[in-house]
Every structure is written in C-alpha cells, then in structure tokens.
Amino acid sequence: GAVVSQHPSRVICKSGTSVKIECRSLDFQATTMFWYRQFPKQSLMLMATSNEGSKATYEQGVEKDKFLINHASLTLSTLTVTSAHPEDSSFYICSAPFGGTQETQYFGPGTRLLVL
C-alpha cells in the first residue's frame, strides 16, 4: 500500500514556542491531505483538510491562526502549532488518500507533541 511519513515522531517544547510537523506521501502524490488530533484513549478528530495550491479547510472549532497548514507540494503538507500551550499536547496524525475512484486513506505514524 501507499506510505505516508511524519516528522518528527515525538517533540517536547516549551510553552510559547512554535512546532512544525511534516507529513509526506512517499510513493504517491496527494493533492489533499488530512490532519487529525487524537487525545488519549479517544478517537481521531479531524482538524483540517490540506489542499495543495490553496488554503486549508478547517473544521468547526479549530483555530486557523493557531494551527497553520501549508501544502507546499504534491507530497508535503506541514502543520505548525503556533505559540504552543500545554493544552495543545496531543497526538497529531495526518493522512492522504490514494487509489483513484476507490481511494483509501493512508495514515502517517503520528507525532506526539508535549508542551511543557
């Protein structure tokens, strides 16, 4: 199947700093990628849809100025958590669809963010 990578896998930062998370589709192109957030022992919550060449689409309740998304190329989307605070600590996961008319979402391994 298709492979999606994320970097870094784990990051610890101080409150007030910004953190950038990269999501790459390694063997296919993705005009759309999705960013999710997962709290401990909970399901995934869709944060936004990243669109190559245009602005991201954010879900209701997600602050676009807080979570900056840039889809720089057909294989790379970045999520920047600006001025991170402890409540932003979470597991962030991206996905990209692959497979044409029967496309399937392939997920990255996730990035665990801990804000001190």
Tell me whether residue 51 or residue 82 sits nearer to another protein (CB atom). Answer: 51
- DSSP H helices, 3-111, are none
CA distances from 96 to 4, 63, 92 (A): 7, 22, 14
Site for another protein contains 34 (CB under 8 A): yes
Cβ-proximal residues to 82 (8 Å cutoff; 6+ apart), any chain = 18, 65, 66, 67, 68
Site for another protein contains 62 (CB under 8 A): no
Among 35, 106, 113, 115, binds another protein (CB under 8 A): 106
Q: Can you tell me the distance from the alpha carbon of 113 to that of 94, in angstroms, rounded to the nearest whole number?
A: 14
Site for another protein contains 6 (CB under 8 A): yes
**Least Å distance between CB 47 and another protein?**
12
Which residues contact another protein (rule: CB under 8 A)? 1, 6, 34, 41-44, 46, 49, 93, 95, 97, 102-110, 112
